[in-house]
Structure 1
Amino acid sequence: MKVNYPGSIMIQTAYSNSDVGRSSKNTANQPVARTTGKRDSVTLSNTTRQLQKVASAMDTPRTDRAEKINALKSAIANGEYTVNPDQVAEKLLNTFMG
């Protein structure tokens, strides 16, 4: 996931300028990493979990939507599809006016 906010450039710069994850030929003078038995953990907020569910649902193809689209394509191709201008105008107004 890409995060875009003003501080992200500073974080990227800090990581790119650090020696984290870089290998060095001279490892004799390097301190040895010791494991303490502690583990990193991440706790996601409820909002983040809900957003992940939404993103996952958006990636799942909906067959009922495909059927509706195919029916509309068929009606348009056969000249059977009609547009009600009053309904279009009403929905446009509701969209822009709230």
Structure 2
Amino acid sequence: MLQKLSNECPTCWDKYLDAALYAYRSQVHSATGFFPFYLLFGRAPSGPMAMLHNLFTRQNESADTYFQYHYIIDLHNKIKASCRIAQDSASEVAEASRQRH
């Protein structure tokens, strides 16, 4: 994932590092059947949708609500880009494996 990020955006890949790690950790791993996040922290990941729910239901109202909303939108875009790059990379690896066999 990081290799693809550095190929697509060589000067700003580090800005996507958190989103790439979140994208990886919040997907069920085929070998374990668990989220890596769950195995690390002992609970399911609480993502941007949970934060938005809290904002819209005013469960966590503060002066920073505006900034939280924009942080979530930015995080969503970064996660989406990271997932797309990870899917492209997985497809390339799968194709290369098929051709080797």
Q: Do they superpose with TM above 0.5?
A: no
Provide TM-score, normalisation by structure 1: 0.27
Q: Which has the higher contact order (CA 8 A, sep 6+)?
A: 2
Structure number with larger C-alpha Rg: 1
TM-score by length of 2: 0.26
User: Between Structure 1 and Structure 2, which shows a larger proportion of helix residues?
Assistant: 2
